Structure 1
Amino acid sequence: MSEVPHSNAAQQQRRQQQQWLATLASGARTQQRLAALAVCASGALLIVQAGAIAWLIQSIVVEQLNWVQVIRGFWVLAVVLLLRSLLGGLAQTAAGKVADTAKLALREQVYRRLMARGPLWLRRQRSGELGELLLSHGDAIEGYYAGFQPVRVEVVVVPLLIAAAVAYVDWVVALIFIFTAPLVPFFMMLVGWGAEAAGRAQLGELARMSGHFADRIKGLGLLRLYGRGEAELEGVAAAADGVRERTMKVLRIAFLSSTVLEFFASVSVAMVALYLGLSYLGLMSLHAVVPTLGTGMFCLLLAPEFYAPLRRLAAHYHDRANALAAAAEVERLLADDQDATAATTVAAPLVAPEPAQLHAPLVSVQAATLRPQGAAHDVVRGFSLEIGDGQRLALVGPSGSGKSTLLEALAGWLPPREGRIVVRDGVRIGYAGQRPYLFHGSIADNLRLADPAVSAVRLQAVAEVAQVMRFAQHLPLGLDTVIGERGFGLSGGEARRIGLARLLLLEPDLFLLDEPTAFLDPQTEADLLQALAAHTRGRTVLMATHSEVAMRWADQVIELQASVQQAQGGNA
């Protein structure tokens, strides 16, 4: 009894996945209709082509007509072949545009949903596995739109047209077509269930291997430093073997599907040939008059074409299975929108905006208890703080006291385990951490992430404030110098200054700065603090620091102790 609800749930899930796949191509409805129309028109012309060939054979072989009398048949055949070639190219082009539209829509949806999950969720994921959602999963659905969907329309329309045309000249052959055709989709359906499961496992294995490999590439320097290169190479090889095994299983099922279809199609064509042969030999008589040679050739030419759309459907059936598997993988890794909405609803009371009130604090931390991502214990307990407009605050304390954790919580990256963080309505918060993420590209490109339309003059000015020009002017191309991913080629202090400059371009109401003056010489630190004071005048700055100079720069010092986390204010 329990298997019935499970089966219904699986069917409902499959329908939802198919509906989701249909929505991806909603922006290319015209191209979809054009591809379907071209395929059906080409199938209709196939009947004309078979009729022209059969007429030519009957006229030349049986009726002994000369070339002049049959020339019009050759002209018809040439025109039909040309039209079918043009229609085939049109169908492929239109289907390719549909596939491109669907792939773009998939990547846009995945990207938006990844962004909606927020930094806290993203930090728990493997970037390589998420990257597969935008790459191989997009490629997995390409065959569904470019191959399976046009053939699905063809398999409904073209065989019916062929059966009707054949029934007009010989009803026995039409009956053979009609009674043998259902065997093919029945066995394809049985094989397709296994193909979908195998495709889902193969995509999952591919995503895991990609995540494993991407993570190892990122930590390659560290692996070499500790002599773990050979061991990790074995791990990559093992992951690749898993993908190979899954892929071979998918191919075995695909070959099985093609074999089943070819078997039934061949048997059906042989039945038609056997019937016609026995009729011509006089061993079978189901008609008052024996069919002519032209009639027999017409039926024999259309017999394999009747099953050709089914053959193509079988060839592309694994594309449907791969597309459904990709939909399931996207759903598995990102969860559905309801889960995301629920997660947002739960997290909302932790960082909640309040209506603007006269003299209300910019941010209010109320008895917050914080625990870093992946930590076993809390580092901040019962912490309370009010941050007002235009303040310069220095957050100090020994390493491990929770300075970075508190900044991440204020930035919205880490919800409090207890207590609340209340942000005044309309306040923009910007955060520059100790390890800002820098993309492969120029320094200027990394700065423009905050404001793509920023002018060159303002970009230069902000780089001067953050002391980026102090080292960039010595680089070969200045701000146009290309740096590696995660700031490869820069020191830790230089990377932090780029992150600070990027934040200055954003111009938030509250600057959260995590050790911005670390690794700087005294003169550079003094210049940075002086320029930062001028640039952020009227805005609020909360800076985690160990520097005595930065503490004197601040209006107020907030001290975190490793044992008792309690705000202690006082003018420096």
Structure 2
Amino acid sequence: MSEVPHPGEALRQQRRQHQQWLASLAAGARPRQRLAALSVCASGALLIVQAGAIAWLIQSIVVEGLPIVQAVHVFGLLAAVLVARSLLGGLTQSAAGDVADSARLALREQVYRRLMARGPLWQRRQRSGELGELLLAHGDAIEGYYAGFQPVRVEVVVVPLLIAVAVAWVDWVVAVIFLFTAPLVPFFMMLVGWGAEAAGRAQLGELARMSGHFADRIKGLGLLRLYGRGDAELQGIAQAADGVRVRTMKVLRIAFLSSTVLEFFASVSVAMVALYLGLSYLGMMSLHASVPTLGTGMFCLLLAPEFYAPLRRLAAHYHDRANALAAAAEVERLLAEDTRLAPGPADTASTGQEPAQRHAPLLRVQGATLRPQGSAQNVLRGFSLSLTDGQRVALVGPSGSGKSTVLEALAGWLPPRQGRIVLREGVRVGYAGQRPYLFHGSIADNLRLADPSVSDARLQAVAEVAQVMRFARDLPQGLDTVIGERGFGLSGGEARRIGLARLLLREPDLLLLDEPTAFLDPQTEADLLQALAAHTRGRTVLMATHSEAAMRWADAIIDLQQPEVRA
């Protein structure tokens, strides 16, 4: 019988997991992270030297009457320390900013890989605006964590300890005051921080939902106007925006509360040091054999605020940590169906396929039961298939018989409800669907999504194979002609040919083609099949089709209504 973890322990484990994930995002910028930490600690050490120089000048000039000329070297030291601290501060910000940029890029790359691994079927069920927030607002939410919170976290461990040691050297009573009052600050910061993290998570979630709501309404604006739903949807957007406002104000209230609490305790602690020194100078308190000198008192008073300053800065940036943890939780929530945040940069996509040995068939399907995404009925039961290297197979059947479902299952986007799909180890699978997604940009830009480093010559050659050049030559700028989002400006057949060319650039071992010759005239179809046969020689092609020409082109035909194979 397994033991159920305590809710508090489960929450702590989840928080540790998110912190490990956040740390892994900055793995590529560890040298800059160490440089930022070293710079902030060196600046804190120089602060002690600065306070010592000021205290010595006051004691020597004001109390002992030393001529200013004899203290020039100390003024020079003080000026050098101020310049050095200014340079170290700039270096800290620069290095921490580089770490934040690296982590934000790693986050977006990781989220992008996971979104791509889910495939179009999963993405169709999501709200594009909400997913867009994973790459935009959530990336910005972690910036303050690396640029602000991380350097201050190092500073709050090192600098107060150095100050306490330096103060203890001259007056142990002040050091004791520091040590007894310092724990109050992180204790109350922790209490406020829990509320800040929960509020930040709610605010990010509300922002993502509003973005998704707004983006979906923009995409369907024409339909909403057609049905007279404009005013009603405006009210819905206003309600969503009001939810974001409420959540944001709650985060700000907690942030102001945390700053107020910490400022109060820090001020009280500094006041205790000043009270002790004042009573000592008035002769009302005597904890030493002799009264501390004015220089000693100034040294302690100058360092008292600086002892608590890192804690105050940590409080100011603590909401950055809360926002980063909230962003991590939101990323996990939106991608939580099949994956969890892992403390490493590498991600692997589960395809629902099992690897097979090198000498086994390229792909084998055994007794698979397949159901389209979102459907309540299976379209195929007991479906079996075996593909070998270099084979060309046509998958035929009437509309609705399951051709596209088979291809999506073989591509790894649709796991079988029963049976197995066994793919030989190391085989790369490529899929070209009926509705390839084309972005706003040139045709060449859309093709280069498959291989950004492809040469112009190879791009032209693949475009020739897919018969893209047949219509691109007549366009104003050829492959550099700009098309609209989702292929606006192109016919269905032209969009499919661009999707096919994009697939060919990837050079997969197994090509899954869904109606690639649809909407083509007989001559263009014949040219496409001939070029495709030459280009894919030695590779396996499984093509769903209704075309008689494509069936004659294939080595074998699988009829989903009559699943026997005929050559």
Q: TM-score, normalised by structure 2?
A: 0.87
How far does the alpha carbon of each residue in 1:6-44 deviate from its partner, in whole angstroms, 9 at most, with x for none? 222222332233233333333333333322222222222
How far does the alpha carbon of each residue in 1:299-328 deviate from its partner, in whole angstroms, 9 at most, with x for none? 222221121111111111111222222232
Give the deviation of 1:393 after TM superposition. Answer: 4.5
The reply on whether 1:150 has 2:151 as its aligned counterpart is yes
Aligned partners of 1:510 and 1:541 also within 8 Å: yes
* Residue type at the aligned position of 1:458: R
Match of 2:19 in 1: 18
* Residue type at the aligned position of 1:171: W
* Residue type at the aligned position of 2:415: P
Give the deviation of 1:414 after TM superposition. Answer: 1.8
Match of 1:406 in 2: 406
Aligned partners of 1:382 and 1:566 also within 8 Å: no
Which moved further from structure 2: 535-544 or 127-136?
Answer: 535-544
Match of 2:202 in 1: 201
Q: Pick the aligned partner of 2:563 from 550, 564, 567.
A: 567
Go from structure 1 to structure 2 and tell me whether the alpha carbon gap of 1:481 and 1:391 turns closer, same or farther (over 3 Å shift): same
How far does the alpha carbon of each residue in 1:228-248 deviate from its partner, in whole angstroms, 9 at most, with x for none? 444444333333322222222
The reply on whether 1:445 has 2:450 as its aligned counterpart is no
Which moved further from structure 2: 550-559 or 476-485?
Answer: 550-559
* In structure 1, distance between residues paired with 2:204 and 2:488: 32
* In structure 1, distance between residues paired with 2:85 and 2:218: 50
* In structure 1, distance between residues paired with 2:17 and 2:183: 26
The reply on whether 1:356 has 2:359 as its aligned counterpart is yes
Aligned partners of 2:353 and 2:420 also within 8 Å: no
How far does the alpha carbon of each residue in 1:339-373 deviate from its partner, in whole angstroms, 9 at most, with x for none? 999x9889345xx535535xx6x554444332110
The reply on whether 1:99 has 2:100 as its aligned counterpart is yes
How far does the alpha carbon of each residue in 1:458-494 deviate from its partner, in whole angstroms, 9 at most, with x for none? 3323323322222211222100112233212222221
Q: 3-state DSSP class of the match of 1:33?
A: helix
* Residue type at the aligned position of 1:356: H
Q: 3-state DSSP class of the match of 2:309?
A: helix
Go from structure 1 to structure 2 and tell me whether the alpha carbon gap of 1:391 and 1:271 turns closer, same or farther (over 3 Å shift): closer
Go from structure 1 to structure 2 and tell me whether the alpha carbon gap of 1:516 and 1:177 turns closer, same or farther (over 3 Å shift): same
Match of 2:142 in 1: 141
* Residue type at the aligned position of 2:78: L
The reply on whether 1:83 has 2:84 as its aligned counterpart is yes
Match of 2:317 in 1: 316
Which moved further from structure 2: 294-303 or 119-128?
Answer: 119-128
Go from structure 1 to structure 2 and tell me whether the alpha carbon gap of 1:54 and 1:488 turns closer, same or farther (over 3 Å shift): same
Aligned length: 560
Aligned partners of 2:351 and 2:411 also within 8 Å: no
Go from structure 1 to structure 2 and tell me whether the alpha carbon gap of 1:220 and 1:172 turns closer, same or farther (over 3 Å shift): same
* Residue type at the aligned position of 2:356: P
Q: 3-state DSSP class of the match of 2:142?
A: helix
**Structure 1 residue runs without a partner (length 5+):** none
Give the deviation of 1:125 after TM superposition. Answer: 3.7
Q: 3-state DSSP class of the match of 1:368?
A: strand
Go from structure 1 to structure 2 and tell me whether the alpha carbon gap of 1:378 and 1:163 turns closer, same or farther (over 3 Å shift): same
Q: 3-state DSSP class of the match of 1:381?
A: strand
Go from structure 1 to structure 2 and tell me whether the alpha carbon gap of 1:94 and 1:502 turns closer, same or farther (over 3 Å shift): closer
Give the deviation of 1:535 after TM superposition. Answer: 4.3
* In structure 1, distance between residues paired with 2:537 and 2:76: 85
How does 1:309-388 map onto structure 2 within 5 Å?
309-335=310-336, 347-348=352-353, 353=356, 355-356=358-359, 363-387=363-387
Q: 3-state DSSP class of the match of 2:352?
A: helix
How does 1:217-236 map onto structure 2 within 5 Å?
217-236=218-237
User: What is the identity percentage for the equivalent residue pairs of Structure 1 and Structure 2?
Assistant: 83
Please report the RMSD computed on the Cα atoms of aligned residues, expressed in angstroms: 3.3
Go from structure 1 to structure 2 and tell me whether the alpha carbon gap of 1:414 and 1:339 turns closer, same or farther (over 3 Å shift): farther
* Residue type at the aligned position of 1:260: V
Aligned partners of 2:149 and 2:321 also within 8 Å: yes
How far does the alpha carbon of each residue in 1:67-95 deviate from its partner, in whole angstroms, 9 at most, with x for none? 32333332222122111111212222222
* In structure 2, distance between residues paired with 1:326 and 1:150: 20
* In structure 2, distance between residues paired with 1:527 and 1:454: 24
* In structure 2, distance between residues paired with 1:212 and 1:100: 29
Match of 1:480 in 2: 480
Which moved further from structure 2: 281-290 or 291-300?
Answer: 281-290
Match of 1:493 in 2: 493
* Residue type at the aligned position of 1:107: R
**Structure 2 residue runs without a partner (length 5+):** none
Which moved further from structure 2: 365-374 or 314-323?
Answer: 365-374
Which moved further from structure 2: 535-544 or 515-524?
Answer: 535-544
* In structure 1, distance between residues paired with 2:273 and 2:537: 90
